[in-house]
A and B are shown apart, each in its own frame.
Chain A
């Protein structure tokens, strides 16, 4: 269909059919005042501020809900329109407290702006003022009903974008207000405190507490950057005044479209925590005392050098960080390899997605999300397995929910009734550790019922015959026995995934953190290839990466077996390239992984470590042993923004700048390389990681010269084909999605369109194996671990956020009501959870989110450290520990004396 011609304010305008007059005007550069309209939301035509005069129409029309028609003649500022608009504003002011003098919103309030624009001085309708008490029950934001103009933006945001429907209009007439079901405080509603409602409120009715009293819009500077929490890579603004952090607000990035979750929005006040490290520390007489940078760097270099010279490069280990930028990770692995001569460099991706890397490398030859986040909008079926996306990757979780409301089928496979499972079309609640059986069962049905994509299998893959033979052994009945998922449900799910194409699979740590992690990932790849769901829009195999730069840390080579760009250290040709570029000989043997380094340290073989931005004292399995290992080291240097549990054991502590105080790039879970921008000066004498690493390198005899992170990226681009066309100058606001091989390449949001990096996709049959530890008489239950929405990783950031920790101050172990009844445990009771490795005392949350016989404990809390309990048994290929399953027992505990007891 062609476009329609209309005239707006005398201007000839073309519009596409179906557009509203408002949109047509906007595209022509004509702004129409509006209050209830918002580009992220549907239009309801409620506020009447966008009225326009349309020739031959009897009345003025609300332009946001009036479709364009050919030949329309529109006036947006005619005297009649202006009169009507002034009336609308006047009526709004009639029951608005004209509090602009003290209102936090002044300067960015849309009502104030329009009153000014149309010269409405004081209302001519002396109306009754609303007088309901504000809802200030939560630590994040305040709802002040008196200022609410009932535009309904917050309601639509919550329903349409967040899918929570926590609030709506209630009551009628003058009493109408926005509230929760049964008028309870937000805390008791389904609200998840994403704050996106507050971000679109045109007036001061929804106000983040952090901003109140800290200066108004014109006194703040806004710096656009990337959220430091999870791997979604949301864009946000940091609001700063006089080098002080005030708060954050959403920016319209490609991953988040102007939405955030509670952590990005309200969880960044750790930036100004008094616990921030502001000076280097040195261990003297058993204690850590302040030191100069010179002393600290000397000591760090000396400690590492001595260990290397005395015991060989294999005695030194480096842990890089998924919190560090690509450039920093690149330099840290270069430091390990070129300066210290060891491939013992790894980071916590080992603990979350090593099996993804191993599995997808084998199947496709590349290990990352195959499709962009925005593709969720194009999928017809979404299979979410082992990912509690609503809590761990909230903005993606919300988008999946929206796709489901739009009509995409949603299948959730998870041992827990996670948030998405509650609204899914089908929830497959399999027993922890039985993923291979479940996935093979789905694949079995595809093959059995001829629902697989024969053309794709024939043309793009290899190994089908072998796979089909193995799948024969997984008929739905047998799968039911292993997984506990009813056969009929399995068949139904398989039919949905097999027929509603394109379909995308999302997975996270529920798949990867098993001794069968690599097998789980292979089983997913098999299923997706059978359905032909690769290389197409809206399909894909999509691992959701946990930390914000875990993708980038892997890309940049902070891995013991891979040089930057996934080039194997034992491939002489690849190694040669780096040796020539760096001018040194590089070690050819793959190094040790995180967990292996800890074991080597415990055995006394690893003597010195340099740990950047990681906290293995909480994040690694079987903490008792980690502590022992770190204490046996001759030398430990730790670089972080807080004195973490790990830093407390260090000989040298190097204070680093946070994400807001430095520059560089992060690569999000969708392979999008995005720019981090500096908003603040580092506190005290702390310094960006990049500078610290350069200082250390020069003290280790390296003559590295880089003029900042952009120069490091230049070197990376020269050595990493997938980053070949990347430079800071090109990134702009939307970043670039790798592979981006040349400076004129636009990036590659969808992978494997024509072929897989390894040529054909490889179907690799996998057999179900039991988890390393299964329940027995002594430890009759299964313990699984994971995240909750309000905290993050080891809690070193989120637990220093006022709002987050006020909202969720302590750990709770989830226990099913039937188990609780049997053990006489009530909600909130203290219990003791024990495994073969340790004991933890924690309060119980009795909930049917978890299944019978399954306990769930989040790992964010040092005082109830889940990883005192977890099993360090490793996946044989990827060496990832089995965080998700171990045998455990739970019993009532006496009231904790003086706070939470710590085991051991």
Chain B
């Protein structure tokens, strides 16, 4: 999300101050920023680099190395569709393309209203229930495309901030 202004720079400033001049504290700082802002926006990473005295590219390298860090905003719900071997054989692709079409985004992206982030994963450890997907921390198995659509609509309604609408879920 290039050039996006750092929201709430007051809080970011406090985090940066805590670690200023300590290049060794990169990972804890990134964790704190992500906790505060939900993801790691580019300007925040640039400021983190300055505060710690590290080259921006080092910070970027670390942020992209660990799966726990997200450089794009995350949705309130994270939907992980499995394409592991078992799920693949039993139609995981069809689930993914339906979910992707419903949400109007590609895997790895987040809906503009930040309701959903869509990811593809390689085995959720629920092969017996394939094809499977996870929404937040709940696993759903034996899916059909329609079932997946219904699930998305349910989670959209349950948006924690109560804001209806959610992603562009299919009717």
Contacts and interface: CB of A to CB of B under 8 A. Distances in A.
Nearest to B63: A170
B19 interface: no
Interface residues of A, number: 16
B2 A182 contact: yes
A875 B4 CA distance: 52
A181 B45 CA distance: 10
Interface in A170-188: 170-172, 179-183
A165 B60 contact: no
Contact of A168 (B55, B66, B67): B55
A189 interface: yes
A626 interface: no
Interface in B30-78: 42, 45-46, 49, 55-61, 64-67
B57 A171 contact: no
Contacts of B65: 169-172
Given A182-B2, A182-B42, A165 B57 contact: yes
Nearest to B49: A181
A182 B55 CA distance: 12
Given A182-B2, A182-B42, A165 B55 contact: yes
B55 A181 contact: yes
Nearest to B58: A168
A257 B30 CA distance: 38
A170 B55 contact: no
B57 A189 contact: yes
A159 B2 CA distance: 25
A569 interface: no
Contacts of A181: 45-46, 49, 55-57, 59-60
Q: Interface majority SS on A: helix, strand, loop or mixed? A: mixed
A167 interface: yes
B2 A170 contact: no
A159 B54 CA distance: 11
Nearest to B67: A172
A168 B2 contact: no
Contacts of A180: 57, 60
Contacts of B59: 181
B61 A159 contact: no
Contacts of A169: 61, 65
Contacts of A179: 57
B64 A166 contact: no
Contacts of A166: 57
B107 to A, nearest CB: 14
Interface string A678-708: 0000000000000000000000000000000
A171 B64 contact: yes
A182 B58 contact: no
Contacts of A182: 2, 42, 45, 56, 60
A585 to B, nearest CB: 65
B64 A170 contact: yes
Contacts of B46: 181
B56 A172 contact: no
Given A182-B2, A182-B42, A172 B64 contact: yes
Nearest to A159: B55
B168 to A, nearest CB: 28
B3 to A, nearest CB: 10
Nearest to B2: A182
A182 B43 CA distance: 10
Interface in B112-157: none
A167 B57 contact: yes
A197 to B, nearest CB: 13
14 contacts: A165-B56, A165-B58, A167-B57, A168-B60, A169-B65, A170-B64, A171-B65, A172-B65, A179-B57, A181-B45, A181-B57, A182-B2, A183-B60, A190-B55
Given A169-B65, A171-B65, A180-B60, 11 more contacts: A167-B57, A168-B57, A168-B58, A170-B65, A172-B64, A172-B67, A180-B57, A181-B55, A182-B42, A182-B60, A190-B55
Closest 8 CB pairs of A and B: A165-B55, A181-B56, A181-B57, A168-B57, A181-B60, A168-B61, A170-B64, A170-B61
Interface of B: 2, 42, 45-46, 49, 55-61, 64-67
